[in-house]
C-alpha cells in the first residue's frame, strides 16, 4: 500500500495513516472485506480559501477480497483542525464536538424527516477522530456533481433563490427535530459571535473584525455625503464588542431555527443541469451552527454572498422565497405553529445589525481578489505587518467599494447605525 502526497502539501498529515483510512472506508462502504492499494492526498481547497482547518481530498484505490481482478476508487474529503495560534476561539466554541453531533445525529434525522422528498442537506460524515488532531472524514460531494460557485463574483438571482428554498427546508426540518429532541439545543447555544467566542483577552476575532472596521472607517471618511454615516460608525466602534454581541443577540421570544451560522458562498456546493442552471445545493462546514433567529443566517448570507444587483433588486423577493419554502416545509412536517411572513420579515430586520457586521467583518475577505488571497490564514493574520498589508488589499477592491456605497446607505436608512 502506498501513500502519495501532492507537492503543495508542505507538512504531511501523519495521523491520516493506513489504519485511519481503513476505518474510514469501512464506514463509507459498509463492508470490511477489501484491501487498500493506494491513497493520493491533494489539497481539498485552494490556498487562502480556508482559514481554520486543513482540507484534503484523498483518492483511495482498493480491491474487494472477493474480486481481486478489478481496482475500485473512492474519493473522500478530510478536514483536520490543528491547534495553532489564532484559532483558540474554535476551542472555546467546541466546534469539533458541535460538528460531530451535527453530522452524526442531527443531519441524518433532519433528512429523514423529509425523506419522501429525497432531501439532502450536506455530505455524509464517514468518521471523526479527536486525537492526535481533531479530524473529520466526509463524502466528496464533487463525485455527485456538486461544485463551488465564485466567491469573488457572488451569487446571481437563480443561485440565491435556490439557497433560500433549501434554507427554508433546512430551518423547517430543524424546528421539527428540535421539538421532538430539545436536548440538541444545548449543543448549539453559541455561534460565531457570542460571549464564548469573544471572551479571551486580545481575542483573534476582535482584532480581526476590529481591523476591518477601522479600515472601513478610513475608506469612507473622505467620501462625499458619507460624513454622518462615518460619525455613526465611529460611535459604533467605541463599544465594539458590545455592539457585536448586540447584533447577534436573540431574545427568548424570537422565532428560532438551527442556523448554519457561516452561510457564505464557499460553504455551499451547487448541482447543475445540462443547461448549467443550478438545481440543488448542499451545505458544508457547520461548526458555527447556532439555535437562534433565522435573521442570523439570512442577514449573513445577504451581505456576504450576493451580486450587488441581486441585493439591490431582489432583497424582499428573497425573503419571501425563504418564507414560502419555510412555511411549505413546516406544513409538510405537520408543524402547526408556522410564522407569518411579517414575523420573518421582522426577524430579518431585527437582526440587520448582524448583517452590518457580516458586511464589514466578513465580506471584505470574501470579495478579495484571488491574486491577493493565496497566503491568507488566521495564523498569518497574527503578524501585524501582514494584517495591515491584507487590509489594504481587501479594501482596495472595486467590488467592495461599490457594495459598501450601497449597503452603508441601506443600513443607515434602517436606523441600525443610530
Please report whether residue 112 resides in a domain. no
**161 and 27 fall within a common domain:** no
pLDDT score at 93: 82
pLDDT score at 70: 87
**55 and 192 fall within a common domain:** no
Domain end position, chosen among 46, 61, 82: 82
Q: pTM of this prediction?
A: 0.94
How is residue 296 written as a grid cell? Answer: 442570523
Does pLDDT of 87 surpass 80? no
Please report whether residue 103 resides in a domain. no
Listed residue (165, 211, 208) closest to 325, CA to CA: 165
**185 and 334 fall within a common domain:** yes
Q: Tell me phi and psi for residue 238, to 5 degrees.
A: -60, -40
Whether the Cβ atoms of residue 335 and residue 179 lie closer than 8 Å to each other:
yes
How is residue 377 written as a grid cell? Answer: 490564514
Does pLDDT of 8 surpass 90? no
Domain end position, chosen among 60, 82, 104: 82
CATH number of the domain that 23 lies in?
3.10.450
Instruction: State how far the Cα of 403 lies from the Cα of 223, in Å rounded to an integer.
Output: 14
Residue 74, beta-bridge partner list: 60
**297 and 393 fall within a common domain:** yes
Listed residue (92, 7, 79, 2) closest to 44, CA to CA: 79
Q: Average of pLDDT values for 282-310?
A: 97
**152 and 288 fall within a common domain:** yes
DSSP 186-246: GGGS--SSSHHHH-STT-HHHHHHHHHHHHHHHHHTTSTT-HHHHHHHHHHHHTHHHHHHH
pLDDT score at 171: 98
Please report whether residue 285 resides in a domain. yes
Please report whether residue 133 resides in a domain. no
CATH number of the domain that 389 lies in?
3.90.1200
28-71: pLDDT as tens digits: 999 999 999 999 999 987 654 556 788 999 999 999 988 878 89
pLDDT score at 50: 59
Cis peptide before 230 (omega within 30 of 0): no
Is the CA virtual torsion 91, 95, 96, 98 positive or negative?
positive
Whether the Cβ atoms of residue 211 and residue 391 lie closer than 8 Å to each other:
yes
Instruction: State how far the Cα of 377 lies from the Cα of 151, in Å rounded to an integer.
Output: 17
Instruction: Using DSSP, state whether 125 is helix, strand or coil.
Output: strand
**40 and 152 fall within a common domain:** no
**59 and 199 fall within a common domain:** no
Number of domains making up the chain: 2
Please report whether residue 136 resides in a domain. no
How many CB atoms are located within 10 Å of the residue 124 CB?
16
Mean per-residue pLDDT of the chain? 91
Give the rounded percent of residues in the chain with a pLDDT score beyond 90: 75
**57 and 193 fall within a common domain:** no
For 70, the domain range is 2-82
Instruction: State how far the Cα of 122 lies from the Cα of 166, in Å rounded to an integer.
Output: 11
**73 and 198 fall within a common domain:** no
Please report whether residue 118 resides in a domain. no
**172 and 25 fall within a common domain:** no
pLDDT score at 71: 92
332-376: pLDDT as tens digits: 998 778 899 999 999 999 999 999 999 999 999 999 887 666 666
pLDDT score at 1: 81
Phi-psi region of 294 (alpha: psi -120 to 50; beta: other; left: phi over 0): alpha
**227 and 339 fall within a common domain:** yes
182-236: pLDDT as tens digits: 999 999 999 999 887 787 766 778 888 999 999 999 999 999 999 999 999 999 9
**226 and 373 fall within a common domain:** yes
Domain end position, chosen among 82, 105, 129: 82
Please report whether residue 110 resides in a domain. no
Look at 114-118, 125-129, 312-316, 384-388 and tell me which has the smallest mean pLDDT: 114-118
Please report whether residue 97 resides in a domain. no
pLDDT score at 335: 79
Amino acid at each position: 500500500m502506498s501513500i502519495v502526497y501532492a507537492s503543495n502539501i508542505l507538512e504531511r498529515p501523519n495521523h491520516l495513516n493506513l489504519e485511519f483510512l481503513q476505518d474510514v472506508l469501512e464506514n463509507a462502504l459498509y463492508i470490511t472485506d477489501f484491501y487498500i492499494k493506494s491513497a493520493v492526498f491533494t489539497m481539498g481547497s485552494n490556498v487562502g480559501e480556508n482559514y481554520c482547518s486543513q482540507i484534503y481530498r484523498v483518492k483511495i484505490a482498493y480491491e474487494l477480497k472477493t474480486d481481486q481482478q478489478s481496482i475500485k476508487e473512492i474519493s473522500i474529503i478530510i478536514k483536520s483542525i490543528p491547534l495553532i495560534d489564532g484559532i483558540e476561539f474554535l476551542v472555546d466554541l467546541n466546534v469539533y464536538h458541535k460538528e460531530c453531533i451535527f453530522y452524526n445525529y442531527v443531519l441524518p434525522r433532519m433528512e429523514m424527516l423529509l425523506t419522501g422528498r429525497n432531501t439532502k442537506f450536506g455530505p455524509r460524515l464517514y468518521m471523526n477522530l479527536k486525537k492526535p488532531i481533531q479530524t473529520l472524514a466526509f463524502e466528496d460531494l464533487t463525485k455527485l456533481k456538486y461544485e463551488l460557485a465564485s466567491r469573488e463574483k457572488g451569487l446571481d438571482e437563480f443561485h440565491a433563490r435556490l439557497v433560500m428554498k433549501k434554507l427554508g427546508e433546512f430551518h423547517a426540518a430543524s424546528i421539527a427535530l428540535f421539538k421532538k429532541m430539545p436536548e440538541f439545543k444545548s449543543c448549539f447555544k453559541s455561534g460565531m459571535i457570542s460571549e464564548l467566542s469573544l471572551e479571551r483577552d486580545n481575542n483573534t476575532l476582535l482584532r480581526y473584525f476590529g481591523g476591518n472596521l477601522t479600515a472601513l472607517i478610513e475608506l469612507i471618511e473622505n467620501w462625499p455625503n458619507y460624513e454622518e454615516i462615518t460619525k455613526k460608525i465611529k460611535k459604533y466602534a467605541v463599544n465594539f464588542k458590545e455592539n457585536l454581541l448586540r447584533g447577534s443577540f436573540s431574545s427568548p421570544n424570537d422565532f428560532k431555527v438551527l442556523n448554519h451560522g457561516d452561510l457564505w458562498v464557499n460553504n455551499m456546493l451547487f448541482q447543475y443541469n445540462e443547461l448549467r442552471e443550478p438545481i440543488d445545493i448542499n451545505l458544508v462546514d457547520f461548526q458555527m451552527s447556532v439555535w437562534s433567529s433565522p435573521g442570523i443566517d439570512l442577514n449573513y448570507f445577504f451581505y456576504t454572498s450576493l451580486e450587488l444587483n441581486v441585493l439591490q433588486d431582489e432583497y424582499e423577493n428573497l425573503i419571501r422565497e425563504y418564507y414560502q419554502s419555510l412555511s411549505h416545509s413546516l406544513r409538510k412536517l405537520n408543524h402547526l405553529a408556522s410564522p407569518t411572513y411579517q414575523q420573518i420579515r421582522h426577524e430579518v430586520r431585527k437582526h440587520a445589525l448582524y448583517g452590518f457586521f457580516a458586511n464589514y467583518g466578513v465580506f471584505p475577505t470574501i470579495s478579495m481578489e484571488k491574486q491577493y488571497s493565496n497566503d491568507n490564514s488566521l495564523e498569518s493574520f497574527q503578524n501585524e505587518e501582514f494584517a495591515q498589508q491584507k487590509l489594504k488589499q481587501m479594501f482596495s477592491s472595486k467590488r467592495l467599494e461599490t457594495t459598501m456605497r450601497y449597503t452603508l446607505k441601506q443600513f443607515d436608512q434602517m436606523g441600525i447605525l443610530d
